[in-house]
Amino acid sequence: MSAYVIAARRTAIVPHGGAFARLSIEDLAAPVIAACLAGAGLSPDRVDEMIVSNALGAGGNPARRVALAAGLPLRVAGLSIDRQCAGGLDALLIARALIDSGAAEVVIAGGVESASRRPLRFATDPDGGPPVAYDQAPFTPWPDRDPPVHIAAAALADRLAISAVEQAAWAVASHAKAREMPGWPEIVCLAGQDRDPFARALTPALAARARPVAGSITAATAAVAADGAAFCVVVSQRIAAAVPHALRLVGGLTLGADPAEPGLAPVPAILAVLQRAGLTPADIVQAEVMEAYAVQAIACVQGAGMIPDRVNPGGGALARGHAIGASGAVLAVRLFHGLGQGVGLAAIAAAGGIGTALLAERQSSKPRNTA
Asked if 297 and 290 touch (Cβ cutoff 8 Å), the reply is yes
Neighbour tally for 181: CB within 10 Å: 16
**Per annotation, catalytic residue among 16, 175, 245, 322:** 322
Torsions phi, psi of 357, nearest 5? -135, 140
Q: Is 232 an annotated catalytic residue?
A: no
* Residues with Cβ within 8 Å of residue 304, at least 6 apart in sequence: 266, 267, 270, 271, 281, 347
Q: How far apart are CA 361 and CA 273, in angstroms?
A: 13
DSSP state, residue 190? B
Torsions phi, psi of 144, nearest 5? -75, -10
Q: Is 85 an annotated catalytic residue?
A: yes
Question: Distance of CA 112 to CAs 20, 53, 109, 292, Å?
Answer: 12, 6, 10, 17
Helices 324-338 and 87-101: angle between axes, nearest 10 degrees? 60
Region of residue 237 (phi > 0: left; psi between -120 and 50: alpha; otherwise: beta): alpha
**Per annotation, catalytic residue among 36, 85, 232, 300:** 85
Pairing of strands 247-256, 226-236: unpaired
Rounded to an integer, what is the distance from CA 244 to the centroid of its chain?
25
Neighbour tally for 206: CB within 10 Å: 15
SS3 266: helix
Q: How far apart are CA 343 and CA 336, in angstroms?
A: 11
Q: What is the CA radius of gyration of the chain?
A: 19
Q: Catalytic residue positions?
A: 85, 322
